Amino acid sequence: MDKFIIDGGKRLCGSVRLQSAKNSVLPLFAASILTDKQVTIRAVPKITDVFCMAQILRELGAEVHFCGEDAVIDSSDACSHEISSALTKELRSSVFMLGSLLTRFGRALIAYPGGCDIGLRPIDLHLSALKRLGVNIRERDGYVLCECGKLKGAEIVLDFPSVGATENILLAAVKAEGRTVLQGAAKEPEIVDLQNFLNAMGAKVRGAGTDVVVIEGVKSLGGVEWEPVKDRIEAGTFLIACAVCGGETEVVGVRAENVRFLLHKLRENGCKIGVKNDRIRIESRGRLHSNRRIETMPFPGFPTDLQAQATVLNATCEGCALIVENLFETRFKYVPELQKMGADVEVRGRNAFVRGVKRLHGATVTAGDLRGGAALVVAALGAEGTSEVLDLSHIDRGYADFREKLKELGADIRRVRT
């Protein structure tokens, strides 16, 4: 097990180039099983979630090779519709395979998916939508067995704009007979990326980025070479890190409209923000002001994946902030670790009340999930003294070369084996 040793208090200055979005790459891997032609995904981040998804494809019979920064996938010999429980319990995004496997084989057997322990994330929306497309579903002993003849297009309405359910519907309907109209769809940039990826393979999908997506079923899909959208959550993590530590940092590769709520909140804190093409520059000096209220919402609202980092930022701002978590009921599990560093945070249900202190102090803390772990690293970077962040396996799920990028910005951070 590895840990970070961080000597805090260093300003962050320089430029960081973003990785491809984890939340885009994983469904693209799942989509590769839809064709027997070669698929190449460019600039794939070397993170454990990607390696886990690659192993899922290999278990299905596909060949996956990493060539430099690219992943080359050949699913022509894929023959299995079953995913082992060991892999599904490691990776929440394994649920994307339901739609792909049903399209390819007419059958899918998976255990209930796992991932970070941030609260209940039921797949009822996925299953009810698949039933609308003609899928028979049986659940038993923690497994889901889905079977169908010919998938048929349908009218589907989501009660909540679930990203995973939206992407699963696209993967299941892309070769279904007739038209599928999805209302109440999620609008995330990663949905748009999946639509464009599928269309490059020969699909007919339109409307991604709005709440109505229309899929005209096609008979076959071809190969594709594709570079995914850059990671807006990684961008937000580095922007917030600079706000916490002070300095001038530029993130390269993100579109400002994909992080506009975060930029609004950073300006509210007192940071100076500059935007030019796909570059966002932040300047942070002196003690910042609290945000007073941040409420997580589906895109384009403030992302839940940046809630923990925003709480860390407000922990040293002047004033008080209310952080409201609307999406995952246990996403404040990192707070007791943050309190070890001197943060004044009180959690009541889905609300966290943050009273800013002048400075956090170093401590030994443990990452319990991906984004909470990244937030603890940010807290340690801004704290006075030395901190240790334990259990980096969670952080490795979503951030490639995290230490190296932070060191290039001037952070004093080491990774050691315990």
Which amino acids are annotated catalytic? 116
Are the C-beta atoms of residues 14 and 249 closer than 8 Å to each other? yes
3-state secondary structure of 299: coil
Q: Which residues pair with 183 in a beta bridge?
A: 157, 212
Six token digits for residue 87: 């892999």
Interacting residues of 371 by C-beta distance below 8 A, sequence separation 6+? 116, 233, 305, 306, 307, 308, 309, 331, 398
Cα separation, 211 vs 333, whole angstroms = 32
Are the C-beta atoms of residues 375 and 346 closer than 8 Å to each other? no
Of all helices (H) and strands (E), which one includes residue 378? Answer: helix 370-382
Interacting residues of 417 by C-beta distance below 8 A, sequence separation 6+? 1, 2
Cα separation, 355 vs 413, whole angstroms = 27
Cα separation, 372 vs 97, whole angstroms = 27
The backbone torsions φ and ψ at residue 225, rounded to the nearest 5 degrees and listed phi first, read -115, 130
Are the C-beta atoms of residues 347 and 322 closer than 8 Å to each other? no
* Other C-beta atoms lying within 10 Å of the C-beta of residue 174: 28
- How many residues belong to the chain? 418
Cα separation, 190 vs 22, whole angstroms = 9
Interacting residues of 208 by C-beta distance below 8 A, sequence separation 6+? 170, 185, 187, 191, 192, 194, 195, 196
Nearest to 163 by CA among 182, 176, 138, 140: 182
Cα separation, 381 vs 392, whole angstroms = 16
Cα separation, 166 vs 191, whole angstroms = 8
